[in-house]
Amino acid sequence: MATRPIVKYPLPLLQKKTAPVTLFDDDLVKLVSDMIETMREAPGVGLAAPQIGVSLRLAVIAGSATLPDEARENESETPPPPPLVLANPRIVAGEGAHIDEEGCLSVIDCFAKVKRYQKITVEAQDIKGLPLRFEANGFFARVIQHEVDHLDGTLFIDRLSSLKRGLYKKKLKKILAQEQEAGGEQ
Ligand code: NI
């Protein structure tokens, strides 16, 4: 296992639709373990393959994020389940709406409220290619929707109003210019 650098917006690869996973081989196992380690170290609750520069329909979700909302709030009482691996995930049904704050490891210095389904039905494959079908609610459902968006080339900032997105782009431009200046002084 090794951590890999997390790529950041505005890298174009983050806004590209990914290719399906077709080979469930040792290379996939290695990629998934690197994704899990990168997610843990960040730390984050989910990570999609494009975030480490791999344009594949693959995501990992922290075990703690898969717990029901009530259990997640008392997380210290129970050991978290293992991370969830989703190859080729699809949201096949969604109901209800919930607005909550989101951030993303690939979108620096940005947190904003995003509307998502409250409850979803997901179809995917596991790391061996076996089919999965399950329902997710609340925070778990939100994380999956965020990661599936990544796999379609959509970032959470694409779901904000054009005014809010414009403000963020301006702010990011300033941050990047400052970073470049600081780098230039070394
Ligand atoms: Ni993200």
User: Distance from the CA of 185 to the center of ligand 1, in angstroms?
Assistant: 31
Q: What is the pTM of this model?
A: 0.95
Res 131: pLDDT? 98
- How far is residue 40 from each of residues 4, 73, 79, 153, 155, measured CA to CA in Å? 11, 19, 15, 23, 21
User: Is 15's pLDDT higher than 80?
Assistant: yes
- How far is residue 44 from each of residues 17, 34, 41, 100, 170, measured CA to CA in Å? 22, 14, 8, 17, 25
Q: Is 147 a catalytic residue?
A: yes
CA distance 64 to 39: 12
User: Distance from the CA of 47 to the center of ligand 1, in angstroms?
Assistant: 7
pLDDT band at 183 (very low <50, low <70, confident <90, very high): confident
User: Distance from the CA of 74 to the center of ligand 1, in angstroms?
Assistant: 24
Res 76: pLDDT? 67
pLDDT band at 1 (very low <50, low <70, confident <90, very high): confident
Cβ atoms of 123 and 97 within 8 Å: the answer is no
pLDDT tens, position by position, 67-112: 999 888 776 667 889 999 999 999 999 999 999 999 999 999 999 9
Res 185: pLDDT? 58
Q: Residues 8-26: what's their mean pLDDT?
A: 97
DSSP the chain: ----PPP-TT-GGGGSPPBPP---SHHHHHHHHHHHHHHHHTT-SEEEGGGGT--BSEEEE-GGGGS-HHHHHTGGGSPPPPPEEEEEEEEEEEE--EEEEEEETTEEEEEEEEEE-SEEEEEEE-TTS-EEEEEEEHHHHHHHHHHHHHHTT--GGGGS-HHHHHHHHHHHHHHHHHHHHHHHH-
User: Distance from the CA of 132 to the center of ligand 1, in angstroms?
Assistant: 22
- Single out the catalytic residue among 75, 77, 95, 147: 147
CA distance 123 to 81: 20
User: Distance from the CA of 128 to the center of ligand 1, in angstroms?
Assistant: 24
Res 166: pLDDT? 97
Res 169: pLDDT? 97
Res 184: pLDDT? 66
pLDDT tens, position by position, 127-182: 999 999 999 999 999 999 999 999 999 999 999 999 999 999 999 999 999 999 99
User: Distance from the CA of 186 to the center of ligand 1, in angstroms?
Assistant: 31
CA distance 11 to 108: 12
